[in-house]
Amino acid sequence: MAIHLSNVLFFPITNSLHQSKQSSSSLHFSTSNRHFRGFRLFSTRRTQRQRQSIYEVASRTRDTSSIITDLEKQTKGDEHTETKSAAAEIADSWREIHGSNDWTGLLDPMNDLLRSEIIRYGEMAQSCYDAFDYDPFSKYCGSCRFSRNKFFEQLGMESGGYEVTRYLYATSNINLPNFFKKSRWPKVWSKNANWIGYVAVSNDAKSKLLGRRDIAIAWRGTVTRLEWIVDLMDFLKPVAAAKIPCPNLAVKAESGFLALYTDKDEGCGYSKLSAREQIVTEVKRLVERFAGEEMSITITGHSLGSALAVLSGFDVAEMGVNRLENGRVVPVSVFSFSGPRVGNFSFKERLQELGVKVLRVVNVHDVVPKTPGFLFNESVPTAVMKFAEELPWSYSHVGVELKLDHKISPFLKDTNDPVCAHNLEAHLHLLDGYHGKGRRFVLTSGRDPALVNKACDFLKDHYLVPPNWRQDENKGMIRNKDGRWIQPDRSKFDDHPEDIHYHLKQLGLTFDS
């Protein structure tokens, strides 16, 4: 009998060795992988009791597939009721979920609705990794593997209810060699650009469920290598010097982040506009388009993408792109994963003044959130930080921090591997089982733990999930009509919308065609 991989994960084969390892923890395992297909926002107590009963039965049998079928039948009606209730709840409480009260009372114990929303935006950040072409032997290396209008469909995320409205590009002519990827072939899609994310907007049906039109921005970060940290110039630069119109010259951000966000290559069709110009013009266009509706702007990113998420949230608010003609302000929130410090203490204060809400999800064993600013950071008394603000290595984290610990998950190896500790899928797994400080780790949403090993070697070996298992079939090679193996051509990438000039002019930004 064939047993699905996810079944093995959730109901390991019973034997004396495995029982001895697991009997002390009495774990509750979820039973289905709803990743990329949406998942329930929360579970009722009744459904949790049903699951517990099924799990106990599962521990005494090898026939797991029939148990899963029984569980799905039992909970199908409950899931329909729960989804409707959860949809109503998020429509009523989305402002609190997005930080209007700085997530007070929602993190410990962990609010189920907040957890599901953080995971949902985390999966948007993860989609940037899943869609990126890393292969140096591909002529499309450094680009997105999918066309914009089929982005979520190709990733199996079409039920998420969002439509990509714009791809984001950055020039690779800056000193971040471990972030940018380039093809080894002479004939490539672009010599000087890399795809770094996208802007999406919720469709009508999803907007009705969310209680507002959500403009989402997802930034690509670094998935396996951490060498990009040493690429940073590690000194602070006034954001105003990067042409972000901040009135306070004391507000500074890390120069490498600013360069990635604001630099452009006018000789390249994709990066002739900076990532900054692409973001603010697209957000302005969407805010004007949906001006008659309730709206939110939600930005997410992992690792280096987290720094770009914070910077772009700052920029959108500082530029007033989120302010409508009638004076109404569209709230801006950032869900950051494994992010480094971005700016100094004045940057933190200015971000608070602008009303940008930031929730930073970190693994306490991850080195990246501890950089830059080893000596002078938010842990130092405020008076000292103000005194040291002129130093080029004085940094402060922004927003609210949610600390996770991979060593409390019974699924993960007790390792000090920095790549594992930094992995985004691991963070989403930890979120799925986190219920508050000192509380037992219990998975809730049905995300498959096998996803953790997609790009690392973090799951315990007895779950039989190979490390770094995600790869394209035949590395993207296909057979043509003559039976030869070739790299298929991809449709032409979008560069910049036709109305980009209008929005640049409205924002006071210049454009040289």
Q: pLDDT tens across 274-326, in order?
A: 999 999 999 999 999 999 999 999 999 999 999 999 999 999 999 999 999 99
Phi, psi of 32 (to 5 degrees): -150, 155
Six token digits for residue 384: 């000292």
Each residue's pLDDT tens digit, 6-21: 433 343 333 333 333 3
| Lowest model confidence (mean pLDDT) among 25-39, 330-344, 357-371, 448-462 | 25-39
Phi, psi of 168 (to 5 degrees): -115, 140
* Residue from 366, 432, 448, 457 carrying the catalytic annotation: 366
> Which class in CATH covers the domain with range 84-404+472-507?
alpha beta
Over 70: is that where the pLDDT of 336 sits?
yes
Over 90: is that where the pLDDT of 183 sits?
no
Indicate if 422 belongs to the active site: yes
Of these ranges, 143-147, 182-186, 209-213, the one predicted with the greatest mean pLDDT is 209-213
Higher pLDDT, 416 or 357: 357
Six token digits for residue 107: 């993190």
DSSP state of 132: B
Each residue's pLDDT tens digit, 37-48: 333 333 333 344
Indicate if 366 belongs to the active site: yes
C-beta contacts of 245-252 below 8 A and 24+ residues apart:
245/318, 245/319, 246/318, 246/350, 248/346, 248/350, 250/344, 250/346, 250/389, 251/343, 251/344, 251/346, 251/347, 251/350, 252/343, 252/344, 252/346, 252/347
* Residue from 35, 397, 422, 429 carrying the catalytic annotation: 422
Ordered by start, the domain boundaries in the chain are 84-404+472-507
Q: What is the CA radius of gyration of the chain?
A: 23
How are beta strands 478-479 and 400-404 bridged, if at all?
unpaired
Helix spans in 329-456 (H):
345-354, 382-387, 418-422, 424-433
* Percent of the chain topping pLDDT 70: 78
pLDDT-derived band at 187 (thresholds 50, 70, 90) equals confident
Yes or no: say if 337 and 424 are a contact pair by the CB < 8 Å rule: yes
Cα maximum dimension of the chain: 73
* Residue from 255, 303, 333, 445 carrying the catalytic annotation: 303
Q: Where are the beta strands (DSSP E) in 101-208?
A: 162-171, 193-202
Each residue's pLDDT tens digit, 104-129: 999 999 999 999 999 999 999 999 99
Yes or no: say if 163 and 207 are a contact pair by the CB < 8 Å rule: no
Of these ranges, 76-90, 139-153, 188-202, 330-344, the one predicted with the greatest mean pLDDT is 330-344
Q: What pLDDT, on the 0 to 100 scale, is given for residue 139?
A: 87
Over 90: is that where the pLDDT of 239 sits?
yes
Higher pLDDT, 81 or 331: 331
Yes or no: say if 41 and 116 are a contact pair by the CB < 8 Å rule: yes
Each residue's pLDDT tens digit, 128-178: 999 999 888 888 888 999 999 999 999 999 999 999 999 999 887 676 666
Indicate if 303 belongs to the active site: yes
